[in-house]
Amino acid sequence: MNLPQRITIVEVGPRDGLQSEKKTLPTETKVRLIERLAAAGLGVVEATSFVSATAVPQLADADEVLRRLRRKTGVRYPVLVPNEKGLERAMAAGATEIAVFGSASDAYSRKNLGHTREEALEMFRPVVRRAKDSGMFVRGYLSMVIADPWDGPTPVVLAVDAGRRMLDLGCDELSLGDTVGAGTPVTVDRLVRGFLAADITPDRLAVHLHDTHHQALANVLTVLGLGITTIDASVAGLGGSTVVSDPHGNLATEDLVFFCDGSGIETGVSLAALLDTATWLRGELGR
């Protein structure tokens, strides 16, 4: 099999995971979670989100989380930013890397972002420009790349077009989100090949897979074979879409690390430390 020697895991639990939990964790517990994930060997830990506290009350303490965090050397701590105000808050709190988010489908964009697909993408233009001018690494999330609960299957050309726009805005990396876990190896293969055919190279791509129908690891194997080596995952499989009624969990980081360990792919992560963290976190969330 054509597999990479090493992959980069982008841990999204403290942001994507916690934002869809009913229970809001105390700031100190969030900080502890991020520190434990970094200590387990994760090199990229998405720390929090600077969207409005009204939209995501679970992460209303984003500034405080970032300020209290004892950063481990060499670890990156990106934060989600919705607009210029969010960017200002993030920078004031010491963020050095951000992520912005768009949608491949129009229905999700209207429901989740409150704008058409085009408007939402345009909204990020000044944000990305300012972040790049400040020397920040910018990740773009693209949601609903496979299908959308309202619009149905997302045509590959639409996903590629939206992704191209985000890269053209200045995003360094594009994370392809199968937000409801609709993808299978066949549809994910088709999607990624669409990006590659548009001369978007695999080093600029990542995948953000949900394990709704237990296809996530099969989909990971598919994208690894196509040259993508950055994979998003969430400790304990926490997190789902905040608009789709029942939560669809993210690919669990511990499943991804087990898969890599057993396949001779380096992640730099200690599975034992990660499992301890997942167990501790479930306790904190009362699960």
Binding residues for Mg ion, per CB under 5 A?
16, 239, 250
In the bound complex, what is the minimum distance in angstroms from residue 116's beta carbon to Mg ion?
22
Tokens 């670890």 belong to: 75
In the bound complex, what is the minimum distance in angstroms from residue 55's beta carbon to Mg ion?
16
First to last CA, the chain: 38
**Token pair in block for residue 224:** 């690894």
Tokens 């199968």 belong to: 178
| Residue 122 contacts residue 83 (beta carbons within 8 Å) | no
Task: Please state, in angstroms and as integers, the Cα–Cα distance from residue 104 to each residue in 64, 99, 107, 219, following that order.
Answer: 32, 16, 9, 19
**Token pair in block for residue 4:** 């990479």
What are the backbone dihedrals phi and psi of residue 187, each rounded to the nearest 5 degrees, phi first? -75, -30
In the bound complex, what is the minimum distance in angstroms from residue 70's beta carbon to Mg ion?
26
| Residue 238 contacts residue 250 (beta carbons within 8 Å) | yes
In the bound complex, what is the minimum distance in angstroms from residue 155's beta carbon to Mg ion?
22
Of residues 98, 173, 106, the one with CA closest to residue 130? 98
In the bound complex, what is the minimum distance in angstroms from residue 16's beta carbon to Mg ion?
4
